[in-house]
Structure 1
């Protein structure tokens, strides 16, 4: 866990509404640290991550403007466990370092760490409590198809690569059910926001004793 900070690890499967939930917490002035955003930053133009990837895979991995061709990179690692392991060993420590840096720089009462692979990448070891946004698989599929314009087969493939719903829910300290109306979602976020404010205050009291 991160010293002197109360950190909530927010996760959920693809299409579950993690970003929507995170933004509702942000409306209460809570800082967000988003693993997906950081994952893009560590391979941006001029970054050490992009330089290392280019040296390893060659310049065919770049778009005309010099940025990372994500589709080309996916093609390189998709059916190649060795190359995928190399890429993960490069990027995961960079992402983890940036997440920790951003958490330490936070000034809100507590911090929301948004990480799709919170449990899979053992990032839950960095947080005080975990929150899973949960919806039924058929809703995940329909929402993702609608949002991203991808095929059902592609979504099912992504779902198969993520932790199964039952395991994710079993590991969660708190669960948000995102299958209902927006008002129900907002009421769940408000209840948890008040809970996390109290837990953060309790932590601060313990640290000062």
Structure 2
């Protein structure tokens, strides 16, 4: 949608989508829906590490539940380290940008820290957590966001026609209870297997 109108904000795109999807919603309800349902849904998927693993390092689960050691070219997940081995890619950036993205303790650089390097799990982040602690903390935040999204959606019952309401409610309930729980179990099992491989 942004390709059609590059000056549109995310709020504009959300509002347009909601007005087309749920035409009976008032403008105020669309704003509330965007902040209480759409925003948590975006953070839940990221925090649950569903599509791109942890901070861009993909998870490829094997049949036994373990993680593939090299899920994509250059990416590594093993018992002691995680990240993307891009060599000296930071040297191709302007010095100011390289300083930001090369600083592991900078929250801005932290978002993409594993795109540029392979780091030990005990690396401390700006939050005070280690990478391994952050992986598990993020999972619990993702479960909470999935539950919040589902709870918030229920408050829009009178604004959404029965058929789309029932379908979306069932999808959200499934995501919050089954998908989120299965992902948490899978990631915890895989990292427990990595830990066991050390001993």
- TM-score, normalised to structure 1, is 0.26
Which is richer in strand? 1
Larger RCO (CA under 8 A, 6+ residues apart): 1
Larger radius of gyration: 2
- TM-score, normalised to structure 2, is 0.27
